[in-house]
Chains A and B, each alone.
Chain A
């Protein structure tokens, strides 16, 4: 009898808990924001009083609860959405992935009436090739891909180009991108190809170059780079400029450069609403909030990328706003090339080639 009673009690408790939590959420909307890892200011760190963007948003809109989660790279985001069974309201993919998602009907057109701050976005970041009529995206950050290295161990004479990543002197101390698109771009820059080539021979040549590099590579990484470069387990890595500035704050021996002669990737990460979104109006509210100059400025102070809202620079740490890493001069930017979406076949070929490189399969020979 006792057992029966306790079982009944457990059920009662479980149901009342469920009912309670149901009550709680009925007058509060949960907004699911899905962003890159380490890509938003989330409060004071290292003695600097950074803003907490999500916290500020929730203070301003107490009815909205933000559920903030992160992904590792564009490809994980894409796979996650494609596999279904999830619901995100705001995502922040990069240019080429936005183009792919538009092509595959994975994004909802934005209602710009709800995003008045879109007017503050600089003209040069509107109507980009990835979203020609600017229906689906609002820029979040822009930036470049360069090389971060440790000045304690790397000879100044060796720096200057992408070839540092192939320098045998630093074997075992070099990190490399673990996602195919960024990794191939570096090999393509060395070979003088476009980052958007779909020519199988050019892709194969890039893969061969990556294969040649493989014995020197310590690990293929994404955000694990923070740990490895921070504690000097590795000395050289290609990465996104903004993240590099964050790492340089933690370890003053780190430095960053863009290749002097070769091309490099410039990218825009933009906020979009995926077709699985459940709270579109609130998502647009969030996007609008991010574009407020004060918020964008405070956010960029931490994440170190370029803001697409020039008015935000007023609110930024002046040193940050003048940074040559976040805002390279026009002449340097001439060498930058943006990613476009590859055709499905070319993307698949690149994915397979990169897996073969990582697995050490020499299929060409």
Chain B
């Protein structure tokens, strides 16, 4: 009873700042300027499906790269001694201490045609290499920014694995690869699922990274939504696009959670 009471402030917070705004998004999506009911926003917003598709594809690519890069890192951290773990964990979270806008701008200074890397290559008469303003640079920017969100839940899950399970697998004749594939990997699925969720959701709705690191062909749905609220003052259309994006994210999370069956999804 007491614990329920303690959760009260959070529930109130959620209700006021999450549930009510969600309701407003739905309301705006289905109304026009004067408040009359309409489907026009949604049908028009749907015309942007190629942009939506591109956003999803960039986010999926960023997720997979984060997983491939992040998993070994999380594994190494989890296997280290306690003091080394603290240092490595700090290193992973360190970039998050700085504004992600600044970090993204720093990449622009590195990658652009007149940037550090291309100027260096220029000394040897190479380039300028097309490092910026393509889909690769946008996905790279997302991986760079969201990687910690993949590593953290993975690390939490792997660190909690019972070492006796691994010993048992080895006693029973598993090689190190088989131990990993048959014991460690299946047991870290909850971490993988929450890592993917935590990377996919912000990545699919990214807007700043694509503006800075992408070319004119790399615009994402987040950029279009931002424009509706910041420039065009068309909240109804912006809300309709957000609603479509939200439904898409819910479906993806739902699909992801099916992989974990009844297992608990790890949280940090």
A residues apposed to B, CB below 8 Å: 73, 75-76, 78-79, 82-83, 172, 179-180, 214-215, 217-220, 231-233, 348, 351-352, 355-356, 358-361, 363
With a cutoff of 8 Å between Cβ atoms, the chain B residues found around residue A356 in the complex are 47
> B8-16, B188-196, B230-238: which lies at the A interface?
B230-238
Q: Taking chain B's interface residues, is the majority helix, strand, or loop, or is none over half, making it mixed?
A: loop
Can you sample 18 A-B contacts with CB below 8 Å?
A73-B231, A75-B230, A75-B231, A76-B231, A78-B233, A79-B229, A82-B233, A217-B216, A219-B215, A219-B216, A220-B216, A232-B114, A348-B234, A351-B234, A355-B232, A358-B219, A360-B217, A360-B219
Do residues B113 and A233 form an inter-chain contact, with CB atoms below 8 A? Answer: yes
Across the interface, do A218 and B48 meet the contact criterion of CB distance under 8 Å? no
Partner of A76, one of B44, B50, B133, B230: B230
Contact at A75–B232, with CB atoms within 8 Å?
A: yes
Q: Which of A82, A355, A356, A358 has the most CB of B within 10 A?
A: A355
Among residues of A, the one whose C-beta sits closest to the C-beta of B33 is A344
Chain B positions within 8 Å of A, measured between CB atoms, are: 44, 47-48, 50-51, 112-114, 133, 215-217, 219, 223-224, 227-234, 237
Q: Which residues of A contact B230 (CB under 8 A)?
A: 75-76, 79
**A352 CA to B237 CA in the complex, in Å?**
10
Contact flag A79-B233 (CB < 8 Å), given A218-B133, A232-B114, A233-B113: yes
- The minimal Cβ–Cβ distance linking A104 to chain B, given in whole angstroms, is 11
Docked CA distance A218–B234 (Å): 27
Residues of B within 8 A of A361 (CB): 47-48, 50-51
With contacts A218-B133, A233-B114 taken as known, whether A359 is within 8 angstroms of B51 at the C-beta atoms is yes
Shortest CB-to-CB span from B33 to chain A, Å, is: 8
Closest B residue to A359 using CB positions: B51
| A179, A218, A363: residue with the most chain B Cβ atoms closer than 10 Å | A218
B213 to chain A, nearest CB (A): 11
Which residues of chain A have C-beta atoms less than 8 A from B47's C-beta?
Answer: 356, 361, 363
In angstroms, how far is the closest chain A Cβ from the Cβ of B51? 5
Query: Which residues in B have their C-beta under 8 angstroms from that of A215?
Result: 216-217
**A residues in contact with B224, CB < 8 Å:** 355, 358-359
Contact A214 B232 (CB under 8 A): no
Quick check: B233 and A359 within 8 Å, CB to CB? Answer: no
CB distance from B36 to the nearest CB of A (A): 16
Q: How far apart are B241's CB and chain A's nearest CB, in angstroms?
A: 10
B233 touches A358 (CB 8 A): no
Distance from B195 Cβ to chain A, minimum over Cβ atoms (Å): 30
Selected contact of A360 from candidates B50, B112, B133, B232, CB within 8 Å: B50
Residues on A with beta carbons closer than 8 Å to the beta carbon of B48 = 359, 361
**Other than the known A79-B230, A180-B231, A215-B216, what 7 A-B pairs have Cβ atoms closer than 8 Å?**
A75-B233, A215-B217, A233-B112, A351-B232, A352-B237, A359-B50, A360-B50
Residues of B within 8 A of A219 (CB): 133, 215-216
A214 touches B216 (CB 8 A): yes
Per the bound structure, the CA–CA distance linking A360 and B50 in Å amounts to 9
A196 and B234 alpha carbons, distance in the complex (Å): 21
Shortest beta-carbon distance from B191 to chain A in Å: 36
Decide if B227 touches A355 in the complex (CB within 8 Å).
Answer: yes
Q: Which 6 A-B pairs have the closest CB atoms?
A: A351-B232, A75-B231, A79-B233, A359-B51, A217-B216, A233-B114
- Please measure, in the bound complex, the distance between the C-alpha atom of A280 and the C-alpha atom of B228, giving whole angstroms: 31
Query: Which residue on chain A has the smallest CB distance to residue B133?
Result: A218
Q: Which residues of A lie under 8 Å from residue B216 when comparing CB positions?
A: 214-215, 217-220, 358, 360
Q: What is the chain A residue whose CB lies nearest that of B223?
A: A358
Q: Report the Cα distance A219→B112, complex, angstroms.
A: 12
Q: Which residue of B lies closest to A227 (CB)?
A: B108
The residue of chain A having its C-beta at the shortest distance from the C-beta of B112 within the complex is A233
Cα distance, A172 to B114, chains bound together (Å): 13
B219 lies within 8 A of A359 (CB): yes
- Minimum C-beta distance from A79 to chain B (A): 5
Q: Which residues of A contact B219 (CB under 8 A)?
A: 358-360
Chain A, residue nearest B214 (CB)? A219
A361 to B52, CA, bound (A): 12
Residue on A nearest B217 in the bound complex, by CB? A360
Chain B nearest Cβ from A154, distance in angstroms: 16
How far is it, in angstroms, between the C-alpha of A179 and the C-alpha of B48 when the chains are bound?
A: 19
Instruction: Give the complex CA separation of A276 and B33 in angstroms.
Output: 22
Q: Within the complex, what minimum Cβ distance (angstroms) separates B169 from chain A?
A: 48
Task: Determine the distance from Cα of A338 to Cα of B179 in the docked complex, in whole angstroms.
Answer: 74
Bound Cα distance from A20 to B232, whole angstroms: 41
User: Shortest Cβ distance from A288 into chain B, in angstroms?
Assistant: 32
- The smallest beta-carbon distance between B63 and chain A, in angstroms, is 23
Provide the bound-state CA to CA distance between A67 and B233, in Å: 26
Nearest residue (CB) in B for A73 is B231
